[in-house]
Copies of this chain bind each other. A is one copy, B any other.
Amino acid sequence: MQSVILSCGDELTSGATLDTNSAWLSQHLADRGIEVLRHETVGDSEELIAESISRATGVAELLIITGGLGPTRDDLTRQALARAMGATLEEDPQSLQQIATWFTARDRVMTASNRMQALVPKGASAIENHCGTAPGLSAIVGRCQVYVLPGPPHEMIDMFTRSVCPHLATAGLIARRVIHTFGAGESHIGEVLGDLMARGRNPRVGTTASGGLVSVRILAHGGRTEVAQALADADEQEVRTRLGDLVFGGDDETMALVLGRQLQAARQSVAVAESCTGGMIGEMLTAIAGSSEYFLGGVVAYANQAKTELLGVSKELLAAHGAVSEPVAQAMAEGARTRFRSDWALSVTGIAGPGGGSADKPVGLVYIGLAGPDGYSMVHKSSFPGSRQQIRLRAALAAMNHLRLAMKKS
């Protein structure tokens, strides 16, 4: 089954509001084995919306429209659907009563404009709205099932879940997997997975670079749920084998979550000493609920004085090597481990730019220190590309990744 998602509203085409409905709907359609051919967004124009409806119903078997059901004059999806159906609008008594009840229950007065919301194209039917005043619509146009849902995300989600989902085919013909990697570029991952990514192959395998990570997506089609799942499982296994230690997690797993689980399983704790990342590693680790079980705290040692007084990095070491150096990274990690009495400690010192670089120590140079049990001590030198924020993000992820790998080996 193939579908199109259409969202309507000037606030979307003007960029004032980000369309989150289409991505949400896509995920939930995919879960039910329904392929999404395309998203489309048009402004508050009866003509443009009607044109898009006609085009979509010509190619897809399912069209989901969001937005343009409100009570104001710029809400025109109802009229556009009627135009695309070649039908007139008629007042639906049951919808009118539901809208009136909604206002009565809230001690508010129903305005004349709300009466417009009870209009339904002849041949279509209304869908009750349990979260607001705008009823949805359901219609068949050609060979395509069309649903119109309200624009506010919580109303859309409620109506989709209650009134659309039960009518969708539930054959789980698609299985999805996402595998997250850190430490190699998209082109390297692409070469290692080359044959798996060939066009027309099932499962379809693709890569996305985002937020400092490269993620591998696997989308398997099958005549039965078990077939699609088995195909996806086999590809996931193959991808994980080929990429080895580059893989740190899958689906909703973040680096901080994976590292946190490892620490929890080993009953070990961690502390951090951050310079150029300024608190980002601490922030990421504590974004995980329950992180207080293994995260003790950190020192953001931005000024040199803080490195000396709070982490015990000697002034002589700073003077001899500079704050961005291997010995200082090492002393910061060891200092944090001692001060917090943690099993492990991470440190980051580097040049995030855009200023402050030199020929010897260019922007992007980062030292990551790691101190652990039984005298474990290690410093990794890296050079990260990108803007100030990208360098900081990559340094934070790299630091957590080094600890993940060190714990795996120990």
Contact = CB atoms under 8 A, between A and B. Distances in A.
Interface of A: 9-20, 22-28, 30, 36-44, 48, 52, 70-74, 106-108, 111-114, 131, 133, 152, 154, 176, 178, 185-191, 194, 197-199, 204, 206-210, 215, 217, 219, 272, 274, 276-283, 285-287, 289-292, 295-303, 305-306, 309-310, 339-341, 353-355, 383, 385-390, 392
A287 B12 contact: no
Given A26-B14, A38-B40, A199-B73, A390 B154 contact: yes
B36 A13 contact: yes
A74 B27 CA distance: 20
A206 B11 contact: yes
Contact of A39 (B39, B114, B187, B309): B39
Contacts of A112: 191
* Top 6 A-B residue pairs of the complex, sorted by shortest distance between their CB atoms: A278-B286, A279-B282, A279-B279, A15-B26, A72-B190, A15-B27
A258 B52 CA distance: 40
B299 A114 contact: no
Contact of A339 (B23, B38, B295, B310): B310
Given A72-B199, A106-B385, A299 B310 contact: yes
Nearest to A188: B111
Contact of A176 (B14, B111, B281): B14
Given A11-B217, A48-B38, A281-B279, A72 B25 contact: no
A interface secondary structure, majority: mixed
Given A10-B219, A283-B278, A185 B108 contact: yes
25 contacts: A14-B219, A15-B27, A15-B30, A16-B208, A17-B23, A19-B39, A36-B43, A37-B48, A38-B43, A38-B48, A72-B206, A74-B207, A111-B188, A113-B190, A114-B187, A152-B209, A272-B300, A277-B286, A279-B298, A289-B353, A297-B300, A297-B303, A303-B340, A306-B340, A310-B339
B11 A15 contact: no
A335 B292 CA distance: 22
B16 A19 contact: no
Contacts of A70: 186-187, 190, 207, 209
A387 B354 CA distance: 34
Nearest to A206: B74
A386 B154 contact: yes
Contacts of A37: 13, 42-43, 48
A24 to B, nearest CB: 6
A33 B179 CA distance: 42
A284 B9 CA distance: 28
A406 B111 CA distance: 29
B306 A296 contact: yes
A282 B300 contact: yes
Contacts of A9: 208
Contacts of A339: 309-310
A278 to B, nearest CB: 3
B16 A27 contact: yes
